[in-house]
Amino acid sequence: MYMVKEYANASKAQYRDALDVIEEFEKELSEMKGKCIDIGCGPGDVTKKLILPRLSPEAELVGTDISKPMIDHARQKYLDEKRLSFFELDIETTALPNEEMGQYSNALSFYCLHWCQNAWQAFENIYKLLQLGGKALVMFLAWNDGFDAYMKVHENPQYKPYMEVDNHNTQVSIYKKLTEDYSPNRSSFQDADRFVPFFHRSKDSRAALRTMLNDIGFEVLHCSRREKSFVYQNMEILKSTETSAVFLRLFNCIVLRVHGFRSHMIAVNPFISRIPDHLKEEFEDVVVREVASRKILFTNKNDNGQQEYSILDRYHILVAYVRKPSSTY
């Protein structure tokens, strides 16, 4: 999924958005005591630098992630932090370990849950992880037109085999169950779809999330959808000459360079690890081109006085703060 170093170096937008929400909920975080869990902690930087210092001093924080390389990296990097530990956990699992049930006073999750196609399962697991009365603060991506680029690239016969996997049937049934109630608008399902966030096609993602949380049993204390934007302005020349030529035609520009943006796209692209080496660079170019063609490009001046292109990325996030009731009936 994610490449550790690449993600750590190209996740400025995620870090900034997590900080915004964490600062907004600073009071709530300061009241979090006991054993807290960060779900989808990635390299552990947000866990250590943004979350941990804001929790009550008596709190202990456990960072969890589906990715072993992420957990290994976080463990190694934050070895000396006594109140912090890390372990592997798939929040979408249908077999949540018994010993983890009801263990956490609070749960946090930033920029992870959009990876879960079975969003219901992920939220149900968060419910199970919490103690009675426990609270969760989550933020994740709801919509980004860049995700439609995956579906477009998937149509290309050269890449199609690498964007389709085995558990198609499982995903279809999950999808059918969820669409009955939460109605994103699509009729077919492919592997590439699996990496398109569940709420991406919802007509009203905030309402769909609120309904899902209520149905699971949470009290919803806050649920909002926010529009965000980020400008990728560092430059990096596209490597493939053919792709660059297409870009030049598309945007009628003298030089188009896509950096920061390209690094970011590659760091978060779920298909790259499946692509054979001889096709990798070309695939990266095609994905970057497809995503960039959906964005707003504008010229700026770099430090050398040259004109370059920046990319404005607009997207939506969902933020929810929920509570597991103190008693179950």
Binding-site member from 3, 36, 51, 112 for ligand SAM (CB under 6 A): 112
Q: What is the DSSP string of 33-46?
A: -SEEEEET-TTSHI
Question: Least separation, in Å, of the C-beta of 243 and ligand SAM?
Answer: 26
Range 7-36, binding ligand SAM (CB under 6 A) = 11, 14, 18
151 near ligand SAM (CB under 6 A) = no
Nearest CA to 202 among 124, 140, 155? 140
Identify which of residues 10 and 213 has a Cβ nearer to ligand SAM in the complex.
10
Identify which of residues 40 and 134 has a Cβ nearer to ligand SAM in the complex.
40
313 near ligand SAM (CB under 6 A) = no
Residue number, nearest CB to ligand SAM: 42
Which amino acid does the sequence have at 229?
Answer: S
**326 SS3 class:** coil
Which residues does 231 contact at the CB level (< 8 Å), separation at least 6?
A: 310, 311, 312, 313
* Cα four-point dihedral sign 28, 34, 40, 43: positive
Range 41-100, binding ligand SAM (CB under 6 A) = 41-42, 46, 65-67, 70, 89-92
Which residues does 55 contact at the CB level (< 8 Å), separation at least 6?
A: 29, 30, 32, 33, 36, 61
For 175, phi and psi rounded to 5 degrees?
-60, -45
Window of 112-120, 233-241, 295-303, 304-312 that interacts with ligand SAM by CB under 6 A:
112-120
Identify which of residues 149 and 238 has a Cβ nearer to ligand SAM in the complex.
149
**277 SS3 class:** helix
Question: What is the distance between the terminal CA atoms of the chain, rounded to a whole angstrom?
Answer: 40
Identify which of residues 39 and 149 has a Cβ nearer to ligand SAM in the complex.
39
Binding-site member from 25, 104, 115, 232 for ligand SAM (CB under 6 A): 115
110 near ligand SAM (CB under 6 A) = yes
116 near ligand SAM (CB under 6 A) = yes
**Tokens at 197, concatenated:** 């966030």
> Under the rule (CB under 6 A), what is the footprint of ligand SAM?
1-2, 11, 14, 18, 39-42, 46, 65-67, 70, 89-92, 110-112, 115-116
